[in-house]
Amino acid sequence: MYQRNQISNKALSFLSTTDCKAAKFDPLPKIHKPGNPGKPLISSNGSHTEKISLFVYHFIKPLVPQINSYIHDTPDISRKLENIKNRIRSTAIIGIFDVTSLDINIPYAEGIAATYATLSEKVQPCPPISDIKVLIKVLKNNFTFSDKHSLQRRGTAISTSWPVYVKP
């Protein structure tokens, strides 16, 4: 991307990490639930995918609200229902679901395909969507647990870090 003048020196420097460490698996206890079950958490801060994830996130985040099925929060669904209330039959029953562990239950290949389909509908000159697609393929969780190296085989990796802005 840099050689094609599609990212800046700053973005190249940001993406060119040489002092990486393996991501680490740690269960995060859910203290608000009975028995304090652990939520699987892979901390990828400082890993080889951290900055790629941030870079990709920067370009994908604005697209998410444009997806027809996107719901931000409870007030958002209330507004959407209000906008279509004249088209809802009086006999309709509306149900709301609290989805848990969604990210880890999205099959990797299907998640990638859905992301590609959404990206393909958008026009984004720089960096090209084809480059973003290549970077997405790298975002599988490689991690350590009990001094053993593993690869996440199911589900979709959650963003590796809080987003920061890097000018392309």
Domain boundaries, the chain: 1-68+103-168
pLDDT digits (tens, 9 = 90+) for 32-44: 888 877 776 777 7
C-alpha 160, offset from chain centre: 8
What are the CA-CA distances from residue 78 to residues 61, 63, 64, 89, 159 (Å)? Answer: 22, 21, 19, 17, 28
Whole-number pLDDT of residue 168: 37
Strands 142-145, 23-29: pairing kind: parallel
Q: Percent of the chain at pLDDT above 70?
A: 82
Whole-number pLDDT of residue 91: 92
Whole-number pLDDT of residue 161: 52
Give the residue-averaged pLDDT of 5-10.
Answer: 89
What residues pair up with 150 in beta bridges, in sequence order?
143
Q: Report d(CA 54, CA 159) in Å as an integer.
A: 7
